[in-house]
């Protein structure tokens, strides 16, 4: 499959669904199974769904779209998003176009190190017990590696041990084992390690054994991205200065920071869902990291520089390109082919870049015309569809359908004016 993707596809939103799919197929990034899956309209067979979770009665679909214009670490990227919100894809695409004019997004991700936790209560002389645990580092790492031989054979495995005293008075000790998990998200691997080493930890430290499980606050698996947008691309110096003022607001006020971070996660979550990632774990880790200083803070910032703004984001991001839904869900496999990431670390940088783009789009709207104008115009499509009934406007040439078409065109014009990919 081709790796020379050009993500700047002008007028993509104006094409019919079949023409959009043909344009993507022509890029050569999809294998035959992925092309067939997307051409069929996507979806998950109920027989597969019935094996993925309990009490299945049907499947529940979301639209799958593409965010365009993304250039990440000098590579053009097609970004699949599964989301019902009409403005998310358009806004991310437009922000990516602005950033593209200044060279695109750059980023790096830490090695894929996950955290296994073993809890102990009622530990006598908890500080001395913590010292004994650290001194037994080699034995603990060996015990952890013995539980995941296939990962060790692939170059992963246990890398470090840490002991944290949570309460000397109550004798609460938690032991962390840090596990490198390759291109997997790694949750099951890390849970296996936690359960395997727990008896040895208890013998070393004493006390009552508690929980043995991963932490979704993966502080040794951070991703960092940066991007620049010029005053001209943003719509003027006043807009750029407004973005900087909005950041100060988010840094000072956790009520604003929560909404700021929701805007950041809008695009990231939609991409994570399309790619079969554990978006619940991603959300938990991101918001916990935002509060680690003791005050809830923004995950991303935008700083005023001469002629524009520079954005930066840092957050924990545990994602995978192997295992999980990629093994059983044809749509996830197709989405992974579209994004073209060769490793979990590369995928993490793409996801964080999408988050930063979504954040920039929201801040730009807030600093200029306000969030509602473009947002609600794009919502007209949903309102018209609801008015047309469950069959949708395309189901029949009724009066409701006729009213739907102009509203779709109006939504497209909003996209053209700044919410979309052109």
Annotated catalytic residue 18: no
pLDDT recorded at residue 390? 53
Q: String of b and e for 388-418 (b: at least 16 CB within 10 Å)?
A: beeeebeeeeeebbeebeebeeebbebbbeb
Q: Which of 183, 260, 375, 421 is catalytic?
A: 375
Q: Which of 180, 231, 278, 419 is catalytic?
A: 278
Within-domain flag for 358:
yes
Annotated catalytic residue 180: no
Rounded Cα distance, 179 and 160, in Å:
7
Confidence of residue 316 (pLDDT cuts 50, 70, 90): very high
Annotated catalytic residue 342: no
The tally of domains found in the chain comes to 3
Same domain, 375 and 346: no
- Is it the case that residue 386 has pLDDT exceeding 90? no
Same domain, 231 and 266: yes
Confidence of residue 69 (pLDDT cuts 50, 70, 90): very high
Same domain, 137 and 205: yes
Annotated catalytic residue 121: no
Domain that holds residue 391: 370-422
Within-domain flag for 208:
yes
Query: pTM for the full model?
Result: 0.88
Q: Which of 215, 237, 254 is the last residue of a domain?
A: 215
- Is it the case that residue 226 has pLDDT exceeding 90? yes
Share the mean pLDDT of the chain: 89
Chain CA centroid to CA 195, Å: 28
Q: Which of 14, 262, 379, 382 is catalytic?
A: 262
Q: String of b and e for 97-120 (b: at least 16 CB within 10 Å)?
A: bbbbebebbbbebbebbbbbbbbb
Same domain, 85 and 132: no
Q: How far are the Cα atoms of 18, 117, 162, 165, 311 from residue 214, in angstroms, in the given order?
A: 43, 6, 14, 18, 31
Same domain, 286 and 330: yes
The stretch 367-394 carries a mean pLDDT of: 62
Please answer whether residues 314 and 221 qualify as being in contact, where contact means their C-beta atoms are separated by less than 8 angstroms: no
Same domain, 240 and 203: no
- The most confident of 4-18, 53-67, 158-172, 407-421, by mean pLDDT: 158-172
The stretch 396-416 carries a mean pLDDT of: 32
Q: Which of 76, 85, 346, 407 is catalytic?
A: 85
Same domain, 158 and 171: yes
- Is it the case that residue 402 has pLDDT exceeding 80? no
Same domain, 314 and 418: no
The stretch 11-25 carries a mean pLDDT of: 92
pLDDT tens for 232-273 read: 999 999 999 999 999 999 999 999 999 999 999 999 999 999
Same domain, 187 and 44: no
Same domain, 211 and 351: no
pLDDT recorded at residue 56? 93
């Amino acid at each position: 499959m081709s790796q020379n993707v050009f993500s700047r596809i002008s007028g993509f939103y104006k094409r019919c669904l079949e023409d959009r799919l043909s344009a993507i197929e022509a890029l050569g990034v999809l294998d035959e199974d992925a092309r067939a899956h997307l051409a069929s309209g996507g979806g998950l067979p109920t027989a597969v769904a019935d094996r993925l979770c309990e009490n299945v009665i049907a499947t529940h679909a979301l639209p799958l779209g593409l965010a365009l214009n993304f250039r990440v670490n000098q590579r053009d990227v097609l970004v699949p998003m599964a989301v019902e919100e009409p403005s998310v894809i358009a806004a991310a695409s437009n922000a990516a176009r602005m950033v593209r004019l200044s060279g695109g997004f750059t980023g790096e991700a830490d090695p894929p190190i996950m955290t296994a936790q073993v809890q102990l209560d009622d530990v006598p002389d908890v500080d001395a017990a913590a010292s004994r645990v650290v001194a037994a580092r080699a034995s603990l790492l060996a015990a952890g590696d013995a539980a995941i031989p296939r990962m060790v054979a692939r170059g992963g495995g246990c890398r470090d041990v840490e002991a944290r005293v949570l309460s000397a008075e109550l004798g609460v000790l938690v032991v962390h084992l840090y596990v490198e998990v390759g291109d997997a998200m790694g949750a099951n691997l890390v849970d296996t390690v936690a359960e395997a080493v727990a008896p040895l930890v208890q013998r070393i430290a004493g006390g009552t054994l508690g929980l043995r499980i991963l932490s979704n606050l993966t502080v040794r698996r951070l991703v960092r991205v940066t991007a620049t947008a010029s005053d001209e691309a943003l719509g003027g110096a006043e807009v750029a200065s407004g973005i900087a003022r909005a950041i100060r607001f988010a840094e000072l006020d956790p009520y604003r920071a929560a909404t700021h971070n929701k805007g950041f996660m809008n695009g990231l979550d939609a991409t994570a869902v399309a790619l079969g990632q554990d978006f619940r774990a991603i959300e938990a880790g991101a918001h916990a990291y935002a509060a680690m200083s003791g005050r809830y803070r923004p995950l991303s910032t935008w700083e005023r520089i001469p002629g524009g703004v520079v954005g930066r984001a840092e957050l924990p991001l545990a994602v995978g390109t192997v295992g999980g839904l990629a093994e059983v869900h044809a749509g996830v496999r197709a989405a992974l082919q579209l994004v073209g990431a060769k490793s979990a670390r590369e995928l993490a940088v793409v996801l964080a870049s999408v988050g930063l783009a979504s954040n920039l789009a929201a801040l730009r709207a807030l600093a200029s015309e306000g969030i509602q104008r473009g947002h609600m115009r794009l919502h007209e499509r949903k309102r018209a569809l609801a008015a047309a009934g469950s069959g949708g406007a395309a189901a029949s040439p009724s009066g409701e359908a006729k009213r739907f078409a102009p509203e779709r065109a109006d939504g497209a014009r909003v996209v053209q004016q700044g919410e979309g990919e052109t």
